[in-house]
């Protein structure tokens, strides 16, 4: 569950933010001043901090500065009370990821929160194990099995298979395959591609002459179907 820490001293605002964020499915903790906010940023380990600028016991700028000084890279969305350009610029310079100017609509804030979380999320690893017909292929371990038996691929065959899987359902030309799988520094002919495709079909297709997975698209190239 994505965790959000809200640091805000106005009780009504704090309650409203908490309720709306929880409705969106976030796990929320709150702090009512800057010191408490810093402590909770450490103990709660949030995925994002919503940070008011005007706070007792340590203002939002100082909180943000201290977070970054502690090498805490948690994304921060600042709530600036004034529309003064200097507040926004200062917040961003101190390491905030975005800001929303009060008064704001909750819809706008939620959209900003989602956008910042999306932007800062670590990329999800691609699917690592894929099923192709009766073969199970582990794209990271470079292993494939049919029932319990191993199916062996050369490194290049595996790269080609991975390329097909990553472009499932798309028509890819031989030139694209050459550039992406072989790279510009090598100069195989398009005929090489066809030979490799034939070898892949021998290994993954039930009947290589009537392929169900690596289809030839005449005049274009190939299309992989999972
Ligand atoms: Ca305030």
Nearest Cα to 139, choosing from 117, 114, 165? 165
pLDDT category at 9 given cuts 50, 70, 90 is very high
Q: How far is the CA of 115 from the centre of ligand 1 (A)?
A: 23
Q: How far is the CA of 165 from the centre of ligand 1 (A)?
A: 51
Residue 129 CB neighbours (<10 A): 12
pLDDT of residue 130: 86
Mean pLDDT calculated for residue range 122-134: 73
Q: How far is the CA of 88 from the centre of ligand 1 (A)?
A: 15
Q: How far is the CA of 131 from the centre of ligand 1 (A)?
A: 54
Q: How far is the CA of 68 from the centre of ligand 1 (A)?
A: 21
Q: How far is the CA of 63 from the centre of ligand 1 (A)?
A: 13
Fold of 3-120: Rossmann fold (3.40.50)
CA distance 19 to 21: 6
Q: How far is the CA of 10 from the centre of ligand 1 (A)?
A: 6
Residue 206 CB neighbours (<10 A): 12
How does pLDDT run across 95-123, given as a tens digit for each residue?
899 989 888 999 999 999 999 998 887 65
Tokens of 77: 């969305």
Q: How far is the CA of 188 from the centre of ligand 1 (A)?
A: 65
CA distance 87 to 101: 10
How does pLDDT run across 25-48, given as a tens digit for each residue?
999 999 999 999 999 999 999 999
How does pLDDT run across 146-158, given as a tens digit for each residue?
888 888 888 889 8
Tokens of 118: 């999306």
Q: How far is the CA of 149 from the centre of ligand 1 (A)?
A: 65
In the chain, the percentage of residues whose pLDDT exceeds 90 is 57
For domain 129-224, say whether CATH 1.10.10.10 is its number. yes
pLDDT of residue 3: 96
Q: How far is the CA of 118 from the centre of ligand 1 (A)?
A: 27
User: Which residues pair with residue 143 across a beta bridge?
Assistant: 138
pLDDT of residue 51: 97
| 142 or 110, higher pLDDT | 110
> What are the residue boundaries of the structural domains of the chain, listed by start?
3-120, 129-224
Q: How far is the CA of 60 from the centre of ligand 1 (A)?
A: 9
CA distance 40 to 158: 47
Mean pLDDT calculated for residue range 189-218: 92
The pTM assigned to this predicted structure is 0.56
């Amino acid at each position: 569950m994505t965790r959000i820490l809200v640091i805000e001293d106005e009780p009504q605002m704090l309650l409203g933010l908490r309720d709306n964020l929880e409705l969106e499915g976030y796990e929320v903790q709150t702090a009512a001043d800057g010191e408490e906010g810093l402590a909770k940023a450490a103990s709660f380990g949030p995925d994002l901090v919503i940070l008011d600028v005007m706070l007792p016991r340590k203002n939002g700028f100082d909180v943000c500065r201290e977070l970054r000084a502690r090498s805490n890279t948690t994304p921060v969305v600042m709530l600036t009370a004034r529309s003064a350009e200097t507040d926004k610029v200062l917040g961003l310079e101190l390491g905030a990821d975005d800001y929303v100017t009060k008064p704001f609509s909750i819809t706008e804030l939620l959209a900003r929160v989602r956008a910042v979380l999306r932007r800062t999320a670590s990329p999800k690893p691609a699917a690592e194990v894929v099923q192709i017909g009766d073969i199970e292929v582990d794209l990271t371990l470079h292993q494939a099995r049919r029932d319990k038996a191993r199916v062996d691929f050369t490194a290049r065959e595996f790269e080609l298979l991975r390329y097909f899987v990553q472009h499932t359902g798309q028509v890819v030309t031989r030139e694209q395959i050459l550039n992406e799988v072989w790279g510009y520094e090598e100069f195989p002919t398009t005929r090489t591609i066809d030979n490799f495709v034939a070898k892949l079909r021998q290994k993954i297709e039930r009947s290589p002459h009537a392929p169900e997975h690596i289809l030839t698209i005449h005049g274009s190239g190939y299309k992989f179907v999972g």
